[in-house]
Structure 1
Amino acid sequence: MKHAAILDRLAGLGGAKWEIHYRARALAAQGRDVIELTIGEPDVPAPPVLTEVAVAALRAGRTGYSDGRGEAGLRRALAERYSRSAGRTITEHQILCFPGTQTALFALLLGVGEVGAEVLVGDPMYATYEGVIRAGGAAPVPVPLRPERGFRMDAADLAARVTPRSRAILLNSPHNPTGAILSRDDLQAIGEVATAHDLWILSDEVYEDLVFEGAEFVSPLAFPHLADRVVAASSISKSHAMPGMRSGWIVAPADFAARLLPLSETMLFGNQPFIADMTEAAVRAPSPVAAGMRQRFAARARRLKTRLEGDGPLRVHAPQAGMFALIDVRGTGLDGAAFAAGLIEEAGVAVMPGASFGASLGDWVRVALTVDDDRFAEACDRIAAYARTLAGVRA
């Protein structure tokens, strides 16, 4: 039987990257004591004040069809929020709502990419980026995010990879998996490259509310001269500890949002009204859980760095934001995949091989900062002990 070319383009880009995560679940089901540091699941439940809004909306019958752009109240709330943060007027005609950032990015990349086109994207990158780029036929062009530069994209590296086929630059700041944040100067320089070559700037900003103390987030939406080429995507998944609610959006130039609307309606026809009501309430007030997550994740990242670098061959990259930290495992003599595979079997700690996020992280692993403090401390001890055994074998 024949199948569509999209299935070939996406072959190997799905669950295979999460093999260690699934292995951890299987071992736990067998009764093994496994500490799971693989996925970015918030460490607190959804805020009750917001779930009550959703329940009330359900009881009020907010279960019918939605406006294809998203519910009007939510779009107004988002327009007001982004007008404040961008320092310029954002209208509700610039907003489209989606079930989560993932769906928003899928639609965006279908809207700007096609067979023969190229999308410039930082390497390392979030695990699904290659898939959303390839789905419509475009090719990802990796731009190295160098550890010595704090994993922030360098405009010179970007410019060196632009070709006549380039359509867009896909940014992620704060960044998963590195926790890096692009500075204002970084964005200014990237914007100059985009302007010179007439490229879209697509900005995934889902970790905006999880910026650690001492760091600053800047969106490319804040640059008025880039307004006609910037599209930002975000959601309540991380900021409000609601990844399962699947509620996200994009902020785009009004004409592009109008052009993208038929694609969005073909896929989804809007988001669920009762979830939109809850999301509107979330957008109109500060998150009741984000500050606590910021403090806990930053503290755990510091604990990881202190514990591992003080005892053994591992080196930790300190994140500026988000839910993850990176460990450089080269000192053990193993690459990230081998280290992660051994760690789960020998020490009962599940981490993600860095290669799941791009070839440049082949010698790293990603650690989620989202388990409680006692379990996280135990995981740090187990990782350190496992690394010592490897160093002893090499010696």
Structure 2
Amino acid sequence: MRYATVTERLAGLGGAKWEIHARARTMAAAGRDVIELTIGEPDVPTPPGLAEVAAAAMRAGRTGYSNGRGEPALVAALAARYAARRGRAISPRQVMCFPGTQTTLYAVLSALVEAGDEVLVGDPMYATYEGLVRVTGATMVPVPLRPDRGFRLDAADLAARITPRSRVVLLNTPHNPTGAVLGRDDLAAICAVAAAHDLWVVCDEVYEDLVFPGVVFASPLDLPEFADRVVVASSISKSHAAPGFRSGWCVGPESFCDRLLPLAETMLFGNQPFIADMTAAAVSAPSPVAADMAARLARRAGLIRDRLHGVAGLAVNRPQAGMFALLDVRATGLSGTAFAAQLLEVAGVAAMPGESFGAGLGGWLRLALTQDDARTAAACDRIAGFAAALRGAA
């Protein structure tokens, strides 16, 4: 039987990158004591008040068809939120709503690139980005994010990899998996390179509300001189501990959203009105959980650094935001994939190998900060013991 070539372009991506996570769940279901540090699941439930908004909307009959742009109340709420945060006018025509950031980015990239085009992406990168680019037929061009720069994208490194086929710079700040946060000067330099080469700048900002105390978030939307080429995407998954509700959006130029609308209508023809009502309530006020969550995540990042940095040759990259810390295991002589697989089987700690996030993170692990302090400390003790045993054996 024949298949579309997209199935070949995506072969080996998707679930294959999460093999350690799947294996850990199987082991835990069989009764093994496994400390799971693999995925960015918020460490608190969805705020009851927000869940009740969705439930009340369902009871009120808000279960009919929506439209391709998004429910008017939600679109208006998002426009008001971004106007207030970015300090300039944002119209409802600049907003499009989707089920989660992943779907948003799928639609945005599908509207901007196709076969023969190139998308520049920082390496390491979130595990799904390669698939998001490949599905369009475009080619992904990795741009190294160097540890000596705190894994922040350097405009000169970006410029060196631009070709006549380049069309989009895909950013992620705060960054998954590194926890790096691009400053306003970083973004201005990156956007200037994009403008010089007539490129779009697409920015995934899903961790905006989870910056750690003392860290300042910046967005390319803060820079009005580049507004005609910037599209940002986000959702309530992290900021409001609501990943299962699948509610996201993008903000960009009116002309871009007008072009995107037929694609959105073809894909989805709107998401659920009762979830839109909940999302409108969520984005119209400060998150009731984000600030405390960010403080806990920052504390656990510090705990991991205190317990593992310099132990048995390990090194910890302390993040500025988000749900993860990076552990450099290269001194053990193992790849991140091999270290993670053995760590799970021997010590019962599940962590994502850096190779799942690009070649630039080979020999690293990504550790989720979403277990409570006691379990995080116990995981560190197991990792330290495992690494020490490796060193002793060597």
> TM bucket by the smaller chain?
over 0.9
Corresponding residue number in structure 2 for 1:195: 195
Identical-pair percentage: 69
Q: Which amino acid aligns with 1:178?
A: T
CA distance in 1, matches of 2:307, 2:379: 10
The TM-score with structure 1 as length reference comes to 0.99
Corresponding residue number in structure 2 for 1:388: 388
CA distance in 1, matches of 2:296, 2:237: 17
Corresponding residue number in structure 1 for 2:301: 301
Corresponding residue number in structure 2 for 1:4: 4
Corresponding residue number in structure 2 for 1:228: 228
Q: Which runs of 5+ in 1 are unaligned?
A: none
Change (3 A) 1:147 1:310: closer
**What are the residue-to-residue correspondences of 1:1-395 with 2, within 5 Å?**
1-309=1-309, 311-394=311-394
Q: Which amino acid aligns with 1:154?
A: D
Q: Which runs of 5+ in 2 are unaligned?
A: none
Q: Which amino acid aligns with 1:227?
A: A
Task: Measure how far apart 1:392 and its partner are.
Answer: 0.9
SS at match of 2:207: coil
CA distance in 2, matches of 1:310, 1:88: 46
CA distance in 2, matches of 1:336, 1:84: 42
Q: Is the 8 A contact 2:155 2:190 kept in 1?
A: yes
CA distance in 2, matches of 1:333, 1:232: 39
Task: Measure how far apart 1:312 and its partner are.
Answer: 2.2
CA distance in 2, matches of 1:351, 1:46: 25
1:104-149 C-alpha deviation (Å, 9 max, x unpaired) = 0000111111000000000000000000111010000000000000
1:48-86 C-alpha deviation (Å, 9 max, x unpaired) = 010010000000000000021000000000000101111
CA distance in 2, matches of 1:345, 1:86: 47
CA distance in 2, matches of 1:303, 1:53: 37
Task: Measure how far apart 1:311 and its partner are.
Answer: 3.2
CA distance in 2, matches of 1:166, 1:212: 34
CA distance in 1, matches of 2:147, 2:250: 30
1:174-202 C-alpha deviation (Å, 9 max, x unpaired) = 00000000111111110110000000000
Task: Measure how far apart 1:388 and its partner are.
Answer: 0.6
Q: Segments of 4+ in structure 1 off by > 4 A?
A: none
SS at match of 2:168: strand
Task: Measure how far apart 1:391 and its partner are.
Answer: 1.1
Q: Which amino acid aligns with 1:125?
A: M
Task: Measure how far apart 1:368 and its partner are.
Answer: 0.3
CA distance in 1, matches of 2:194, 2:86: 19
SS at match of 1:102: helix
Task: Measure how far apart 1:332 and its partner are.
Answer: 1.5
Q: Which amino acid aligns with 1:353?
A: P
Task: Measure how far apart 1:310 and its partner are.
Answer: 5.1
SS at match of 1:325: strand
The TM-score with structure 2 as length reference comes to 0.99
CA distance in 1, matches of 2:30, 2:110: 42
SS at match of 2:367: strand
SS at match of 2:209: coil
Task: Measure how far apart 1:209 and its partner are.
Answer: 0.2
SS at match of 1:4: coil
SS at match of 2:134: helix
1:214-268 C-alpha deviation (Å, 9 max, x unpaired) = 1111000010110100000000000000001000000010011000000011001
Q: Which amino acid aligns with 2:142?
A: P
Q: Which amino acid aligns with 2:325?
A: A
CA distance in 2, matches of 1:189, 1:79: 26
SS at match of 1:142: strand
SS at match of 1:232: strand
Task: Measure how far apart 1:330 and its partner are.
Answer: 1.1
CA distance in 1, matches of 2:390, 2:185: 41
SS at match of 1:209: helix
Q: Is the 8 A contact 2:67 2:265 kept in 1?
A: no
CA distance in 1, matches of 2:198, 2:271: 32
CA distance in 1, matches of 2:50, 2:312: 45
Task: Measure how far apart 1:100 and its partner are.
Answer: 0.1
Task: Measure how far apart 1:351 and its partner are.
Answer: 0.1
